[in-house]
């Protein structure tokens, strides 16, 4: 069992937002990632939702050693190994299956598994995970749900993701069991289409400045 503190937690001490990224090309991945890291968001979740995702992870990890590159939408143990081999330092899954929980032990990469209910959170805790993704955050009950989970499960910490924007983020970050939030608002599609990397950097700076609890 991986019943230990996630190595991601120290990296998130002053980083309140993990950008959730979906890239259409490696060139796009490099430009966007550089803008985000320069803006103060060094933890990047590159989702496995496009054909170039693995190549993008490999390229960004090599080009930006100061970044902590992660892979999102990891569903299987095979994908977990593939993203690790591509250079990802952490993996994020929308949920947690018994095979993924078992495969994550000793895999050489940190897994941030997703949960949406108290039962799922308990199963993740039983498997040794204490830092969890709360997904889909807004649809699964949002801030009230996380407050409710904090009572019976005080040992758990969360990264809520799904439906969160810059206006909602501070409310989540104010919760004692929330470490950070995941969001795609820092990379608007129109900014990517217009190659406005400066705007993305500014949004990253704004996100970095969001206040979490002390």
Q: List the catalytic residues.
A: 45, 133
Q: Parallel, antiparallel, or unpaired for β 43-47 and 68-72?
A: parallel
What letters, b where the CB count within 10 A reaches 16 and e where it falls short, cover 113-144?
bbbbeeebbebbbebebbbbbbbbbbebbbbe
- 1 vs 97: CA distance, rounded Å: 14
Q: What is the spatial distance between Cα 116 and Cα 142, in angstroms, rounded to a whole number?
A: 10
Count of beta carbons in the 10 Å neighbourhood of residue 30: 17
């Amino acid at each position: 069992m991986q019943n230990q503190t996630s190595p991601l937690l120290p990296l998130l001490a002053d980083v309140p937002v993990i950008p959730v990224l979906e890239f259409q090309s490696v060139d796009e991945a490099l430009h966007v990632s550089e803008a985000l890291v320069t803006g103060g968001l060094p933890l990047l979740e590159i989702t496995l939702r496009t054909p170039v995702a693995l190549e993008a992870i490999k390229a960004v990890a090599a080009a930006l050693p100061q970044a902590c590159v992660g892979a999102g939408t990891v569903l299987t143990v095979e994908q977990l190994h593939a993203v690790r081999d591509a250079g990802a330092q952490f993996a994020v899954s929308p949920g947690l299956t018994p095979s993924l929980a078992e495969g994550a032990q000793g895999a050489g990469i940190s897994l941030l598994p997703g949960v949406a209910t108290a039962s799922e959170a308990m199963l993740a805790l039983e498997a040794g995970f204490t830092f969890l993704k709360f997904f889909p955050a807004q649809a699964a009950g949002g801030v009230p749900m996380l407050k409710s989970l904090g009572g019976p499960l005080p040992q758990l910490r969360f990264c809520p993701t799904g439906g969160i924007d810059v206006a909602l983020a501070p409310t989540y970050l104010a919760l004692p069991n929330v470490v950070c939030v995941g969001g795609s608002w820092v990379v608007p599609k129109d900014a990517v289409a217009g190659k406005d990397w400066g705007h993305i950097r500014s949004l990253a700076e704004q996100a970095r400045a969001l206040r979490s609890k002390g």
